Homo-oligomer: A and B are copies of this chain.
């Protein structure tokens, strides 16, 4: 029989659970209003579909009208965007994760203290775009670092402040901070990596080397899931990234005795359960046919 190890910290983080709950509640609070989220509320098409059935859909090319309801998802938005929405007279529901708000506040604090700001994160990630908005709004200077090469423009600054995208890889963050400490005169680091991300990554470091197959569940466009997969693959070549149980292939599990499962921050529990059941089914068929 196959043993399945589900990572204790797999799946939804606090901020995502909270945003989904806020979206669900808005269907009661703003009954009769069209309810939109600014972009998919989470990186999970299945969960987005479930919410759509409840009446909450991602804003696409609809023109917003007074009285519409708009939910800012957990990633947050630049303050300018928020202002523009308020001017349209929509009901604005802010589901920005409190940990992301903490990054915005940290950036504003560093600007006030006169630091050039480094945001360690992905340049095109919505959270980072939101954070950059706060940097601009507060009149500060700074840059996003997603590769050590991006540090070149930073070295000419004497006083540098660092924050992180909440879902950043800890090892890269450590590398950036270490490099900067050698180059700049004064460095202030406010570690804004969300604990949910780090414990989820620690699970992978612990489980992946000790199983025959490691399955990572999550949106193919989710940065934090892709990082879990990258970490897992470096520790165990039999690592696979899937979105739904239908993608599981029986040949992955040939001879496997222990299978690990984890999931990115946007994966609901019911998908994890379905993946687990499907693996048990595949391995069960295999042992009964052998």
Question: Which residues of A are interface residues toward B (Cβ below 8 A)?
Answer: 162, 170, 173-175, 177-179, 181-191, 193, 198
Contact = CB atoms under 8 A, between A and B. Distances in A.
A191 B174 CA distance: 16
Contact of A181 (B177, B183, B185, B186): B177
A193 B178 CA distance: 13
Contacts of A170: 182
B186 A178 contact: no
21 contacts: A162-B181, A173-B182, A174-B179, A177-B178, A177-B187, A178-B178, A178-B181, A181-B191, A182-B198, A184-B191, A185-B190, A185-B191, A186-B189, A186-B190, A186-B191, A187-B189, A187-B190, A187-B191, A188-B188, A188-B189, A189-B189
Given A175-B178, A177-B178, A178-B178, A187 B188 contact: yes
A155 to B, nearest CB: 12
A192 to B, nearest CB: 9
A180 B26 CA distance: 41
Given A183-B191, A186-B190, 18 more contacts: A162-B181, A173-B181, A173-B182, A174-B181, A177-B177, A177-B178, A177-B181, A177-B187, A178-B181, A181-B189, A182-B198, A184-B191, A185-B190, A186-B191, A187-B187, A187-B190, A187-B191, A189-B189
